[in-house]
Amino acid sequence: MNAMPNKTNSMLRCAGCGELFDRTISSSMPFCSEKCRGDDLDNWLTESYGLPHEGEGVPDRVQEDDEEDE
Ligand SMILES: [Zn+2]
């Protein structure tokens, strides 16, 4: 009887690129690689800075700081 572990149990979908990867070989959970973690962090920082998205037409977030208490 073969006691090989079920590889699929260790497969996760990368939160960055969406590819499946083996979490047992990743040092950048929940990402498949340092690159994906870096890319995601970069995106997150960009979002938090509120930079406008390019090439996405009219943004959903039209509510800026127009409403000020008087
Ligand atoms: Zn990835």
Identify the pLDDT of residue 44: 83
Q: From CA 70, how far away is CA 68, in angstroms rounded?
A: 6
In the reported structure, the alpha carbon of residue 43 is separated from the centroid of ligand 1 by a whole-number distance in angstroms of 14
How many angstroms does the Cα of residue 5 sit away from the middle of ligand 1? 23
More confident residue, 67 or 10: 10
In terms of DSSP H, where are the helices of 1-70?
34-49
Please tell me what DSSP assigns to residue 11: E
Distance 17 CA to ligand 1 centre (A): 4
Q: 21: Cβ–Cβ under 8 A, 6 or more apart, which residues? A: 11, 12, 13, 14, 32, 33
Q: How many CA atoms lie within 13 A of 53 on its CB side?
A: 12
Cα(9) to centroid of ligand 1, in Å? 18
Direct distance between the N- and C-terminal alpha carbons of the chain, in angstroms, rounded to an integer: 77
Q: What would the pLDDT profile of 25-69 be if each residue is shown by its tens digit? A: 898 988 999 999 998 888 888 887 775 666 666 566 666 677 677
How many whole angstroms from 20 Cα to the centroid of ligand 1? Answer: 8
With 80 as the cut, is the pLDDT of residue 14 above it?
yes
pTM: 0.48
